[in-house]
Structure 1
């Protein structure tokens, strides 16, 4: 059996001969040296450094270093060009307007929303973005050292992607555990491989999560690893933002009506960016992401839905023709990756929109979709499977937010009537009481093997090692326990909407005490990450005697209290406690509390 041998020219430049590269013998500079910006040594006489000894080895090392240095300079030049291009306003090209069912121009709206989108990250990475498997794109004029370095970088990115899938995503969405009959979570891997903006944002989250966890490891050690993770966070965030801006520009050029797949990818990327802002407790951009995603989601449904009673479902069906029965609602089904991703992103967006409305003093922007997605005996989505809250609780929180917005609108117009408010609130309260009564008759569905249940003290002793096995350590509250906490928090929210911030009101005192008792039943302090809004609502109404409980609960999370909105929630309630003496019930409510830090807090 013969072995193929790479033939090199004996008349090529001495640079290529030394580097053992094939030379095309182009003069005065061969293409290899031109591409890598190296000195091309063409001469009949053999250079004196080609002595087969130490000088030749030294020169080979110098060329190797030159390849690295020039590659860095090329990439920085390209990065600067990318930054300049991304800084340009997103414009809408002249084109025939596609038919639309409403007057809202989503293209112009998105251009406005993201035209001045601030880029937090201001660093300068030493390479251009490498998406997994992008090395197969056909570029063959790189050196072996470049290829090796790019391969190493791609390997690191793939490793970070798996950290995101194995640890970060389960930490952010612990209730989401789709069964095999629903095709599992494979769609997440597909999405990471195909959506560049989402991929980089996920890697940034993975880097941040790792950096947070490592902060609790051996003080004074692993400093290089910690610094690398912080650097990687900034770099990947910048790459994700720029990739999303380019994707949005392409959607703007074509129009949402002509690009379902691209529009959905942009939606997924924006929702992921929203996840990032909440995870890193950034208070500046989350509303930009939420508004942009809501506008885009509405236009996707508006322009791509078939005429009928289930517009969202018709868009879902169109993503995989033949894979979905027309009359199939929620339930076990082997979803295509695009469908599973769309379902998850829709549920996440709907939920974020509802919680945001409690702070923004407005009805949820996507409330028009609640009837199809959340209501009825067979809704399109069961939020309990995605965020751990049953649909009826989610819908009632949405209705209370809408009631709060109605009350403030009536007061502003001078048409407010307290009798109307009480009547509207009593209807919601009756439904809440009915749901709570039903929950009280159902036991908390703890796992059967409770022997290894962790107390707060035991978890604090274990530290971050408890992350290594979510199921074994039961770091997710049961669905019934979660529902009870959320229902009691909704009751507090409703009473504050009606009567203002009155911590001493007997009904509010009873609900706060009940929530505290339910929090004590949590299997682990890490469960608090799924209960941020109830924690904040109850905490803002806590008495001085109850303050230590809320403080100890967040402290028991250790370093992970800063990953997500838990720390933000505690800052909110702490500031409310400081202003307790001046919280007039006529002017203070839950929305006021969520703005007490000088910005609007999204506590999901």
Structure 2
């Protein structure tokens, strides 16, 4: 069916006899879009009985390989909503995301959506949500509830868990598994960014399980996670070439989607570990897949999605490992002080050296050869490189703060800690641009804020004041609310466990304030 456009009605100021299509009521419009999306999908899916039967019991495509499946084109209303997702949803949810135009840009999202009903539903429902928010950020609960309800329709995996999906055999359904993992991470990010945190942990659990199962299809297993990851990437190919020249190789949509979703999943897994006395759940995969500091070609590049380079996140994972080891030693009543000092010193020296290199890098970055003419890009490669270095510095300072807490070097007001707090505040307030990128730095923002001294807190408030409307930065707002509570408590933590960041949380679900 065609989308009902009767809610569009406004006179053209240059010609009183002609009508133009502009919305009278954006919230009414978004509701119509959602209803039209549902009707569009129902009509087209009913044309394919096999797919319709699958949708009744599963969240994904039929079991045959999606490379050979016939893509279902978008209807008119779905095209509108998908466009809003690409144009407004992606920058909102992933402000540091830089899709490589030579690698096909964001086309992988639309391609995957045409091959997977759950991902399609997620994208068009989120797109209609952002469509409805263009007019106002106030009172968006109804929009959110409508979008989430429709995103979850028919998604058995959300109610019965990933075992239902995996038990049918993932070896021959690899693209389908990747599509589903991508859809789940999109839902997780949307829920966190819109301050609906209750389901975020369950989304992460499902995505972790699928990720492990996908890598488990490779013969290398945990003995060589990097080789397993690369083997899966190969199986998700081949890519294509830009026509007519056929000279630029382009990753397949499944390859691009799997890399993107893996970055989000591992990133969240690492940061979530900082508020637990456990190692990151995916730790066995992290060092191998993310690579070492000087690794020229890691399988995935975090800086292109979350702004921070891989190596700093590996060190945060190592600090969480150290904290988990220390916690187990305390429980056993045996603490190896020499081993603790050795590990703390090794991590600290590595981070401090890397931070020194980052500061030099900003001063020496020179404009390189652009990938394409500057008229097609919003930032030069030089600006992108500088901002990546600055964002990574923020994370490096936060990692050193986290290490100091775990090592129990001194109290929150100690000089070493306050140096890092001051640097984080200065970078966020003065250097990071545009300020929307702060959305990806809720964890450093939170750590620095909780440890900041009174004379520095005005800068934190000023930084938050630049993020308007604040309810569009849900995780930053929640982190700031927690910081304000800590400040009102005189900077003291609720209990005496100095190294446990979770002591600053009033609700364990709020860990998601650090993730986006």
Give the drift of 1:214. 2.9
Distance of 1:477 and 1:277 partners within structure 2: 31
Distance of 1:268 and 1:166 partners within structure 2: 19
Listed as ranges, the gaps of 5+ residues in structure 2 are 1-33, 50-73, 242-247, 368-376
The question of 1:559 aligning with 2:483 is answered: no
Q: 1:433 to 1:171 in 2, by over 3 A?
A: same
What is the match of residue 344 of structure 1?
Answer: 260
Q: TM-score, with normalisation over the residues of structure 2?
A: 0.75
- Select the residue among 105, 113, 138 that pairs with 2:47: 138
- Select the residue among 207, 210, 234 that pairs with 2:145: 234
What is the match of residue 298 of structure 2?
Answer: 379
Give the drift of 1:206. 3.5
Distance of 1:322 and 1:155 partners within structure 2: 28
SS at match of 2:412: coil
Q: 1:234 to 1:600 in 2, by over 3 A?
A: closer
What is the match of residue 446 of structure 2?
Answer: 536
Give the drift of 1:244. 2.6
Distance of 1:501 and 1:231 partners within structure 2: 48
Alpha-carbon displacement from aligned partner over 1:511-532 (angstroms, at most 9, x marks no partner): 1111122122223432311221
- Select the residue among 108, 111, 127 that pairs with 1:187: 108
Alpha-carbon displacement from aligned partner over 1:532-553 (angstroms, at most 9, x marks no partner): 1111110010111222211221
The question of 1:478 aligning with 2:395 is answered: no
What is the match of residue 286 of structure 1?
Answer: 200
Distance of 2:340 and 2:317 partners within structure 1: 16
CA contact (8 A) 1:187 1:338 kept: yes
The question of 1:177 aligning with 2:98 is answered: yes
Distance of 1:477 and 1:214 partners within structure 2: 34
Q: 1:494 to 1:600 in 2, by over 3 A?
A: same
Q: 1:502 to 1:252 in 2, by over 3 A?
A: same
Distance of 1:243 and 1:446 partners within structure 2: 50
- Select the residue among 281, 300, 312 that pairs with 1:365: 281
Aligned residue pair count: 430
Distance of 1:138 and 1:592 partners within structure 2: 51
Q: How does 1:155-166 map to 2 (within 5 A)?
A: 155-166=76-87
SS at match of 2:361: coil
Distance of 2:191 and 2:166 partners within structure 1: 24
- Select the residue among 421, 425, 435 that pairs with 2:340: 421
Give the drift of 1:339. 0.9
Give the drift of 1:400. 0.9
Give the drift of 1:582. 4.2
CA contact (8 A) 1:196 1:240 kept: no
Indicate the RMSD between aligned Cα atoms, in angstroms.
Answer: 3.3
SS at match of 1:215: coil
- Select the residue among 129, 150, 156 that pairs with 1:245: 156
Alpha-carbon displacement from aligned partner over 1:329-386 (angstroms, at most 9, x marks no partner): xxx9520111111111111111111111112332111111123311142321121122
SS at match of 2:149: helix
CA contact (8 A) 2:84 2:130 kept: no
Q: 1:437 to 1:417 in 2, by over 3 A?
A: same
SS at match of 1:368: coil
CA contact (8 A) 2:238 2:252 kept: no
Give the drift of 1:593. 4.4
SS at match of 1:483: helix
Distance of 2:427 and 2:451 partners within structure 1: 16
SS at match of 2:178: helix
Give the drift of 1:203. 3.6
SS at match of 1:513: helix
Distance of 2:132 and 2:238 partners within structure 1: 43
What is the match of residue 119 of structure 1?
Answer: none
Distance of 1:260 and 1:575 partners within structure 2: 46
What is the match of residue 510 of structure 1?
Answer: 419
Q: How does 1:391-470 map to 2 (within 5 A)?
A: 391-443=310-362
Alpha-carbon displacement from aligned partner over 1:85-127 (angstroms, at most 9, x marks no partner): xxxxxxxxxxxxxxxxxxxxxxxxxxxxxxxxxxxxxxxx978
Distance of 1:299 and 1:432 partners within structure 2: 33
Q: How does 1:26-425 map to 2 (within 5 A)?
A: 129-130=38-39, 135=44, 137-138=46-47, 154-215=75-136, 230-245=141-156, 251-252=165-166, 254-305=168-219, 309=224, 310-321=227-238, 334-376=250-292, 377=295, 378-425=297-344
Give the drift of 1:497. 1.0
Q: TM-score, with normalisation over the residues of structure 1?
A: 0.64
Distance of 2:476 and 2:142 partners within structure 1: 24
Bigger Cα Rg: 1
Distance of 1:215 and 1:475 partners within structure 2: 31
CA contact (8 A) 1:496 1:590 kept: yes
CA contact (8 A) 2:482 2:504 kept: yes
What is the match of residue 106 of structure 1?
Answer: none
Give the drift of 1:581. 5.7
Alpha-carbon displacement from aligned partner over 1:300-347 (angstroms, at most 9, x marks no partner): 1113446784011111101125879xxxxxxx9520111111111111
SS at match of 2:114: helix
Q: 1:278 to 1:304 in 2, by over 3 A?
A: same
CA contact (8 A) 1:157 1:203 kept: yes
CA contact (8 A) 1:594 1:600 kept: no
What is the match of residue 546 of structure 1?
Answer: 456
Distance of 2:186 and 2:170 partners within structure 1: 19
CA contact (8 A) 1:575 1:596 kept: no
